[in-house]
């Protein structure tokens, strides 16, 4: 089972990967956005890490809800509401559970992704966060249905998410700041899809290291 402690590790690894790659994320955003995605996400997860110790009842849903609220209040631009929605909807999917099954993990990721789609009014292929998250979630669900354990299923999820992230390079952006560039947005990897990939990678690494 995936515990409260495992969830803490997931959030901490996400914050670590965002911090380690903030300059890379900013460089990606410089090409098609406002050149602030890396710094915004890093600031948001630093705020998350300051708040994370206030969750004392070992309720995973409450922790994810706190993460979502912290991101909404601290991450600039569209990323704050979008990533905040991801965690808030994920929290609703598991309510007050203190341990999660593999199916629970798939459910929270799916709920978060669906929340993003509704909030951003976006679809796969629009060159957004969804282009890495959705294939990752679908691969996770399929792998679990095929009888794989959660570690193998998360490996499949991360591989598909990475492929989706890379596939944003030739796409023309249809949403967000990048869409203002039209055809000029093609040829660049989407920064949001990249930071979303780090979230799934961090979750995978909880199982790999465990």
Going from N- to C-terminal start, the domains of the chain cover 2-209
For residue 56, the model assigns a pLDDT of 63
Nearest to 7 by CA among 55, 72, 79: 55
Q: Taking residues 124-152, report their average pLDDT.
A: 97
pLDDT at 65 exceeding the cut of 80: yes
For residue 40, the model assigns a pLDDT of 93
Task: Report the alpha-carbon distance of residue 120 to residue 174 in Å, rounded.
Answer: 11
For residue 209, the model assigns a pLDDT of 75
What pLDDT, in 10s, does the model give residues 99-119? 999 999 999 999 999 999 999
* pTM for the full predicted model: 0.95
Topology given in CATH for the domain delimited by 2-209: 1.25.40
Contacts of 22 (CB under 8 A, 6+ apart): 38, 39, 41, 42
What pLDDT, in 10s, does the model give residues 5-27? 999 999 999 999 999 999 999 99
């Amino acid at each position: 089972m995936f515990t409260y402690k495992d969830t803490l590790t997931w959030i901490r690894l996400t914050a670590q990967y965002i911090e380690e790659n903030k300059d890379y994320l900013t460089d990606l955003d410089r090409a098609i956005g406002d050149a602030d995605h890396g710094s915004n996400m890093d600031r948001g997860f630093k705020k998350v890490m300051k708040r994370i110790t206030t969750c004392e009842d070992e309720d995973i849903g409450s922790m994810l809800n706190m993460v979502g609220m912290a991101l909404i209040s601290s991450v600039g631009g569209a990323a704050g509401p979008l990533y905040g929605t991801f965690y808030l909807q994920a929290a609703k999917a598991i309510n007050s559970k203190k341990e999660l099954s593999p199916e629970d993990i798939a459910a929270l990721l799916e709920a978060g992704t669906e929340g993003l789609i509704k909030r951003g009014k976006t679809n796969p292929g629009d060159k957004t966060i969804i282009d890495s998250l959705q294939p990752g979630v679908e691969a996770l669900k399929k792998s679990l249905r095929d009888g794989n354990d959660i570690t193998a299923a998360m490996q499949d999820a991360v591989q598909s998410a990475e492929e989706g992230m890379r596939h944003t390079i030739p796409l023309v952006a249809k949403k967000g700041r990048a869409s203002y560039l039209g055809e000029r947005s093609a040829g660049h990897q989407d920064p949001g899809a990249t930071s979303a990939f780090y979230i799934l990678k961090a979750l995978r690494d909880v199982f790999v290291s465990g």
